[in-house]
Structure 1
Amino acid sequence: MAAAVGRICGARLLKNTGIVGPQVCQLSTSTQGWTRNRKLLLSTLGAVGGGVGALLFALEQSVQASGNEAHPPHQPWSHDGWFKAFDHASVRRGYEVYKQVCKACHSMQYIAFRNLVNVTHTEEEAKAEAAEVMIKDGPDEEGNYFERPGKLSDYFPSPYPNENAARAANNGAYPPDLSLICSGRKGGEDYLFALLTGYMDPPAGVVLRDGQHYNPYFPGGAISMAQALYDEAAEYTDGTAPTASQLAKDVSAFLRWCSEPELDERRLMTIKALGMFSMLAAVVYYFKRHKWSTLKSRKLAYKPVSKK
């Protein structure tokens, strides 16, 4: 034991207190034992890291401000907040808008009909939605491909067989897949809502090519997609008035859900985790305050046996 304490003192993990003699030592974890060069190095690294972070933030803000597109205003979404959930009635209406308007041009290759179960539709309703589409399947025993009614395990079919066919039907423009469009665009659902409701006549000096339309929220202003949402452009099964702004709001909420179908479950787990961690933090504080106080104030001392 004496040899072990001596080695610890020699390694400078223990420091002399100078109270009862040079042999009395205690544990030291303070920064007083750091050298001047080490303090200077850590201070420099902290200053450089903070400066780089501030520079990156400033550059991002300047790039956004220098763009020629309008910035979408923030809308009061029901799911906007750490502890808020989707408005599932709005998400269901957004699916109806996609089905009646957007489905003709845009695919959703990462969303399956089973994802609708217990979110926007019951299991029976989702099966009925899947059965309305024909899915290419095969080959069969004879090596031929065939079409069959959709099942819950099937993904939303694409309106075009390939990219070339999609471009040929849209004057060379390729309609993007909408599965992750909300996460893939700066501004998310705010951008989608502003884009769908922001069509206007081009200002003076702006020349558009054939098949292009002006939208100030689209980068460059010239967009190949024509305005798709008008009043009564789709019908709601729940009787909601299908105004253009209501259609845009619901389909934007639906596309946000498509980008993060697990958002409600993740936020629910966050609430549960905060509750458990709060109780654990109280227990840890009690043990730290009342049980470890004797260990933190304990001192190790070596008193050699007298040779007399």
Structure 2
Amino acid sequence: MSAGSLILKGVTALVGITAVLFVAATPYHGVHVEKEEWSFEGFFGKFDQAQMKRGFQVYSEVCAACHSMDLMHYRSLTEIGFTEAEVKDIAAAVTVMDGPDDAGEMFERPGRPSDKFKAPFANANAARASNNGALPPDLSLIARSRAGAGFGAYEGADYIHGLLTGYEEPPAGFQLAEGMSYNKGFVGHQIAMPNPISDGGVTYADGTAATVDQQARDVSAFLTWTGEPNYENRIYTGMKAMLFLIVFTLIAYAVKRRVWAKIH
């Protein structure tokens, strides 16, 4: 193989890699959303359990009608402040298919904490048939998959909040396809999902005013947690590792000074 051919292949590969990295690092895939403030930002950030509970309520009463969450189990809700008794009640409120029994038949039973969140549809075809051909995405990892450059969990929360608060009337001259809604926070500004939230759409158990912005913030935070339940532990582990390395470096430097002091 000639040197020119090798150079050409190398340049082509470099251009391809650069293009991929550029697309991957473009926040929200070209959609602009406002940066919000989140309790879980930064090294000392942590999830607000009250907000997590409200977010779960929004998911349960609004989002769960169309969107599944296949990677989440009801028992995980104890991590955001629900008691074991409350989790049992939440799980028992749904009916799941189980079996086969001794007779080889499938049967229905109340949900258990060990069950995954119940999906709204039996399969993808049923989901499409109920949503004019559109398949509602599973929300288990939606925040992680929508994070911009991937450097912070809050980026996905910004995207979800921007989308849920981005519904508005299309500008003059905008050609909106039939059955679509205009959303300034969605790629192409046309989305098959109608506006799912409205002021007072839920009644929060803690008395918080259920404005559109509040519901969007709460469910965005909750979906951020579902995408990375170990986020806080990862941050704390990183902080401990950094503290250890700092202390170890200081000790090593002190030992080095002591050893070399005798030599000099």
Q: Structure 1-normalised TM-score?
A: 0.73
Aligned residues of 2:33 and 2:185 also touching (Cα < 8 A): yes
| 1-structure distance, mates of 2:51, 2:68 | 20
Take 1:158 and 1:112, find their aligned partners in 2: how far apart are those partners? 12
| Aligned residues between the structures | 244
**Who is 1:211 aligned against?**
179
**Mapped partners of 1:241, 1:65: distance in 2:** 29
Aligned to 1:168: 129
Question: SS state of the match for residue 182, structure 1?
Answer: helix
Matches within 5 A, 1:87-106: 87-106=48-67
Separation in 1, partners of 2:25, 2:80? 40
**1:240 corresponds to 2:208:** yes
Task: Show the counterpart of 2:164.
Answer: 196
Q: Is this contact kept in 2: 1:198–1:217, CA < 8 A?
A: yes
- Return closer, same or farther for 1:62/1:184 CA change in 2, 3 Å cut-off: closer
Contact 1:83 1:271 in 2 (8 A): no
- How far apart, CA to CA, are the structure 2 residues paired with 1:164 and 1:95? 26
* Contact 1:88/1:120, CA 8 A, preserved across alignment: yes
**Distance in 1 of aligned mates of 2:29 and 2:115:** 43
C-alpha separation between the residues in 1 aligned to 2:67 and 2:25? 33
Distance in 2 of aligned mates of 1:160 and 1:150: 16
Bigger radius of gyration among the two: 1
- TM-align CA RMSD: 2.6
- 5 Å-filtered alignment, 1:132-151, equals 132-151=93-112
Give 1:82 deviation, angstroms: 1.7
Percent identity between the aligned chains? 44
- Amino acid paired to 1:270: G
1:34-183 equivalences under 5 Å are 59-60=22-23, 67=30, 69=31, 71-183=32-144
Deviations 1:188-232 (A, max 9, x none): 110100100110111122222221000011111110000011101
Which residue in 1 is equivalent to 2:248? 280
Task: Please list every run of 5 or more consecutive structure 1 residues that lacks an aligned counterpart in the other structure.
Answer: 1-47, 298-308
* Cα distance between partner residues in 2 of 1:62 and 1:119: 31
Is there any run of 5+ residues in structure 2 with no aligned partner, and where? 1-10, 149-154
SS at match of 2:246: helix
Question: Displacement of 1:152 after TM fit?
Answer: 1.2
* Amino acid aligned to 1:89: A
CA distance in 1: counterparts of 2:67 and 2:261, whole angstroms: 65
Instruction: Write the letter of the residue equivalent to 2:104.
Output: G
